[in-house]
Structure 1
Amino acid sequence: KMVWKLVFQLMLMFQVAAAAAPIARSGCPDRCGDISIPYPFGIRKDCYMNEWFAIECNASVNPARAFISRINMEVLNISAERATATVKSPIISSNCTGREDGVPLNLTGTPFVFSRYDNVFIAVGCNTQALMTGITPNLIGCVSTCSDVKSKNFCEALLPSSLQVFNPRIEATDDNQDREGCKLAFLVNHTWFESNVSDPFSLQSRDYVPAELGWAMNVNADDPVYCRGYYNESFRSECECDGGYEGSPDLGCIDVDECKESKHSCRGLLKCVNTRGYFNCEINKLYIALIATSIESLPTRKRKREMECALVKKSAICKEEGTKGKAMVPCLR
């Protein structure tokens, strides 16, 4: 009985593995250590959508570490379904003994933004004001007051739409109290913060916290892809293949051959010719040749009218040159 149970479990595992959809382009590695690398990201050339989504995998350490090359941010997780990447977000500090200050971030000009719905702005310290700079005309920040319970000396603020710059200014609100005290500011995944941090001051021993990046697909005008940006649980662009194409914008849109699949409206003497994203109806040259051969033995004037009729697709009227100009006469049946 145990043997059959084991066989059944193995068969089930194989079926699940076979049914799982590929997350990377064919022939491309889909992991860097413990981290899945789904398209539009990729590790090798021709495996990512464009240079912004290139992943550098440092396999010289254990476990391997993945970085979004162009913005030099370390990746902790990527979800293609939610269009978010969990990255190491720096902690900016002021007057904190024994720690190096984090480096501000500027993602301007990239397809990445800090997810408005997944992240929150946190400032830690007694009588501390933290404002995010470089995002005019918006004014985003918060003020933390002093409390007898040290773990409550923090404040938070919601993020604006499409935030790409994180360069907070931290300062004391009271010149006579805690001016030199340790103060922190950071962007963090709010679910992680609520679940893992009971005392925000404990984060001064960390270099980073996890935050979520959203991204928008940047497609060329000639690509058969339609995208619309929107906000749901994160910032992303929903894209689909144009009409006349099938497949996925992530892994490629393939032209539908309407002629082979009988999805055209060409009838009679018209032949279907497939084009990118559509089809054309053209006069079948074979039929023209047959018609020309069949009327070759007709008298010259009659042959001329018949040829003109054939070329206008069996029109009931033909042109005939007369001695006093052009006249319209019925075609020969």
Structure 2
Amino acid sequence: MAVQFVIRITFLLLLTYGLAEAAPPIGKSDCQNHCGNVTNIPYPFGIGSSQCYMDDWFEIVCNRSGAFLKRINMEVLEISIQTSRRYADNTVLVKSPIISSNPSCTSMSSGGGVNMKGSPFTFSVSNNFISVGCDNSAIMTETDPMIIGCKSNCDTSLINDKGNTCSGYNCCEATIPSGLQTFNVSFPSTDDKKGQEGCRYAFLAEEEWLYNISLPFSVEKIDFIPAVVLDWRIYNWTKGSLQMFESFTIRQGFACRLYSTPGSNYEYYSYESKVIKSTNFSKFGCWCVWGYEGNPYLPTGCEVLMPTW
């Protein structure tokens, strides 16, 4: 009896191990899907041969410094694929430059802006626009007709004890709109005799990241902000994306959100319905539905989720 029990337990352990080993792939076969600390690079992203990524917007260059999106030259820290209907966007965590009011304000080499126009990437609204400086005014450019900016000063009464590093004293912040693809900043004239030798800085970052640093001016000692989120979707204007969408008719276990043109209206499409109310959509994002797992963008698509008791 005891022997039979041991045999059953051993069988279950081997079965569980085998199922864990058979996890669905995230990238194309025979393609590198990791680079340094970036351990999971899912298709449509890829490294090396053009067969490994959907188009050149998703090409990643891997070198000793890290993994970089080649077309926009931003270092990648993590790539996520949407896991359910609740989460509308796929994301990429990247390093983004700090812009200073004067090149002499930093010894670092960043300082330039970001231009992602024409790409499938936009800055996520989970980022905030943040500027550091005493008696400072900073305004984002190329955001017409909107005006995005903030002001900070040297009034110590603005310091609070609520854990908010950026409360208006030496630091200010503002929300950003969805769909933003550029980041550049102007610093309108202020009294340069105040502040830290007139040095002012501006950047985008997840709000939580700023709360983890003790002093706003510590950003002058770093080159890039390591906490900027990009949203990404598949745009319906390339050969690769069209072929991908056409293949959905023979796949199972997935659903997509189709975004129309113009505007941000959308409709759902799934393997169950196979009905598109409108063909006038410009981009889409997909996920594996409940009971399935994997990467919906791969030819193999989503696979039935196996139990791992």
TM-score by length of 1: 0.62
Counterpart in the other structure of 1:130:
138
Q: Answer yes or no: is 1:212 the counterpart of 2:216.
A: no
In structure 2, relative to structure 1, the CA distance for the partners of 1:243 and 1:173 (3 Å cut) is: same
The correspondence of residues 265-276 of structure 1 with structure 2, limited to 5 A, is none
Letter in 2 for 1:78: I
Alignment equivalent of 1:50, drawn from 35, 48, 55: 55
Q: Quote how far apart the aligned CAs of 1:30 are.
A: 1.5
In structure 2, relative to structure 1, the CA distance for the partners of 1:13 and 1:77 (3 Å cut) is: farther
Q: Answer yes or no: is 1:112 the counterpart of 2:121.
A: yes
Alignment equivalent of 1:184, drawn from 181, 201, 210: 201
Alpha-carbon separation, structure 2, partners of 1:76 and 1:114: 15
Alpha-carbon separation, structure 2, partners of 1:54 and 1:112: 13
Q: Quote how far apart the aligned CAs of 1:172 are.
A: 4.3
Query: Contact 2:24 / 2:295 at 8 angstroms: preserved in 1?
Result: no
Aligned-residue identity in percent: 43
Alpha-carbon separation, structure 2, partners of 1:98 and 1:54: 30
Letter in 2 for 1:86: L
In structure 2, relative to structure 1, the CA distance for the partners of 1:100 and 1:249 (3 Å cut) is: closer
- The structure whose residues are more often strand, as a share, is 1
Determine which structure has greater relative contact order: mean sequence separation of CA pairs < 8 Å that are 6+ residues apart, divided by chain length: 2
Deviations 1:59-78 (A, max 9, x none): xx3xx610111111111111
Alignment equivalent of 2:111, drawn from 99, 102, 106: 102
Deviations 1:41-100 (A, max 9, x none): 111321112111011111xx3xx6101111111111111235111111000012415444
Alpha-carbon separation, structure 2, partners of 1:211 and 1:80: 16
Deviations 1:206-261 (A, max 9, x none): 0100201111202355642575139xxxxx998756829x997501389xxxxxxx
Counterpart in the other structure of 2:282:
none
Larger radius of gyration: 1
Alpha-carbon separation, structure 2, partners of 1:203 and 1:136: 28
Counterpart in the other structure of 1:27:
30
Query: Contact 1:119 / 1:159 at 8 angstroms: preserved in 2?
Result: yes
The correspondence of residues 160-171 of structure 1 with structure 2, limited to 5 A, is 160-171=177-188
Alpha-carbon separation, structure 1, partners of 2:51 and 2:112: 31
Alpha-carbon separation, structure 2, partners of 1:99 and 1:40: 33
Alpha-carbon separation, structure 2, partners of 1:20 and 1:48: 21
Counterpart in the other structure of 1:262:
none
Alpha-carbon separation, structure 2, partners of 1:98 and 1:55: 28
Deviations 1:278-332 (A, max 9, x none): xxxxxxxxxxxxxxxxxxxxxxxxxxxxxxxxxxxxxxxxxxxxxxxxxxxxxxx
Q: Quote how far apart the aligned CAs of 1:180 are.
A: 4.1
Pairwise CA RMSD of aligned residues? 3.5
Q: Answer yes or no: is 1:143 the counterpart of 2:151.
A: yes
The correspondence of residues 78-89 of structure 1 with structure 2, limited to 5 A, is 78-81=79-82, 83-89=90-96
Give secondary structure in 2 for the equivalent of 1:161. coil
Query: Contact 1:122 / 1:187 at 8 angstroms: preserved in 2?
Result: yes
